[in-house]
Amino acid sequence: MQKLGLTGTSKHQTDDQMKGISAVLMDGDEVFVDNGAIHAKSRIELGIQFVKSLTEVPNPRRVIGLWVTLKRFADGMGYSGAMPFELWIDADAKLGYKKLAEQVNSMDKAVRGTVDLSQLTDAEIEAFASFLRQTRADLWEHAAEGFRSAFARAESGT
């Protein structure tokens, strides 16, 4: 079972709110936690030169990231915020494209408890929901109502 790690440690020089954020990435059919993405050092980003335009990436593949945050609620720790972001990678050319400002803004919104999955397809939402439920059922059980209802969209087909 993959562990949904937290970034905060007593040695980490970051805002306390950042301690509860994780990056969940979807690369094709694989969904996994890679908290290196918080500092632009995910396994997908390593060795990639990021360019200013998507047109500069010869054969881009879309990698979807999801910033997921945790919060302590009355009944326990649960998922709170979820905001997607995109990376476009051509591993052979060692080139990639991302909108860094949007990525940072999405991270900030997730930290504040925002959940907006409108950029994702129902299949993508269901893949993330399944991963999050299976990885930490306790966090799913105690998630904010808005969090679970946003992911329920894919299950209901709306």
- Residue 33 β-bridge partners: 24
Residue 158: both structure tokens together: 């709306």
Contact by Cβ (8 Å): 21, 69: yes
**Torsions phi, psi of 128, nearest 5?**
-65, -45
What pLDDT band is residue 13 in, cutting at 50, 70 and 90?
very low
Q: Each residue of 92-149: pLDDT tens digit?
A: 999 999 999 999 999 999 999 999 999 999 999 999 999 999 999 999 999 998 999 9
The pLDDT of residue 20 is 87
DSSP state of 14: S
This prediction's pTM? 0.85
> Given the structure tokens 């632009």, which residue do they identify?
40
- Compute CA distances 17 → 14, 112, 126, whole Å: 8, 8, 27
Give the strand order in the sheet containing 95-97.
30-33, 21-27, 61-73, 76-90, 95-97, 49-50
Coil, helix or strand at residue 84 = strand
